[in-house]
């Protein structure tokens, strides 16, 4: 967990690396496939344009898109940041367990009137983060998370994403 001065040091370091954009930082693992394909490509575009639409960002406004993405590295203004790591020797099953753990953290926060945003965006800067937070040799960054009070007025928080109907992903064998 980072707050206060350490949060600020982390935000400053990662924001300046992001601004340099010199390609020297790379994610340690691929959160997403290297190339999107259907139906995920269409869904991703739809949610992306839904968000940009709410923010008034048009196609081709790459600077504004970058500025929006950069907000990840300020924890979207949240006063507390969480960085999650896993022992890199663990296998896929433990990553599943980890996902449940993340969800529990988010639900626990929500039950207390707080809000979270899980953030895969940080993984590009895992070396910098591991250095700053003095990770052990076997610690691998899974993701970050912003934790704070929700701002229901913020346009991005009014985005309501579709859910695929059950019939699209459940096969009933009777």
Ligand X SMILES: Cc1cc2nc3c(=O)[nH]c(=O)nc-3n(C[C@H](O)[C@H](O)[C@H](O)COP(=O)(O)O)c2cc1C
Stretch that binds ligand X, among 6-14, 57-65, 116-124, 131-139 (CB under 6 A): 116-124
110, 67 Cβ separation under 8 angstroms: no
Among 10, 83, 129, 143, binds ligand X (CB under 6 A): 143
Q: Does 161 bind ligand X (CB under 6 A)?
A: yes
57/117 with CB nearer ligand X: 117
Burial of 158 (C-beta count, 10 Å sphere; 0-12/13-18/19+)? exposed
Q: Does 80 bind ligand X (CB under 6 A)?
A: no
82/121 with CB nearer ligand X: 121
Report the nearest approach of ligand X to the CB of residue 58 (Å).
19
Angle between helices 4-20 and 62-70 (to 10 degrees): 160
Closest CA to 113 of 81, 71, 150: 150
């Amino acid at each position: 967990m980072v707050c206060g001065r350490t949060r600020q040091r982390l935000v400053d370091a990662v924001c300046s690396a992001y601004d340099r954009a010199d390609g020297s930082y790379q994610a340690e693992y691929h959160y997403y496939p290297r190339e999107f394909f259907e139906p995920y490509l269409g869904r991703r575009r739809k949610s992306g344009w839904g968000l940009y639409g709410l923010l008034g960002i048009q196609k081709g406004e790459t600077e504004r898109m970058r500025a929006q993405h950069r907000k990840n590295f300020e924890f979207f203004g949240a006063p507390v940041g969480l960085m999650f790591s896993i022992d890199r020797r663990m296998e896929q099953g433990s990553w599943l367990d980890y996902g449940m753990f993340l969800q529990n953290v988010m639900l626990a926060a929500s039950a207390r009137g707080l809000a979270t945003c899980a953030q895969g965006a940080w993984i590009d800067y895992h070396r910098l983060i591991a250095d700053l937070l003095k990770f052990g040799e076997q610690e691998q960054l899974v993701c970050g998370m912003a934790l704070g009070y929700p701002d229901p007025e913020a346009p991005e928080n009014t985005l309501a994403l579709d859910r695929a109907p059950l019939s699209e992903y459940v096969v009933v064998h009777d």
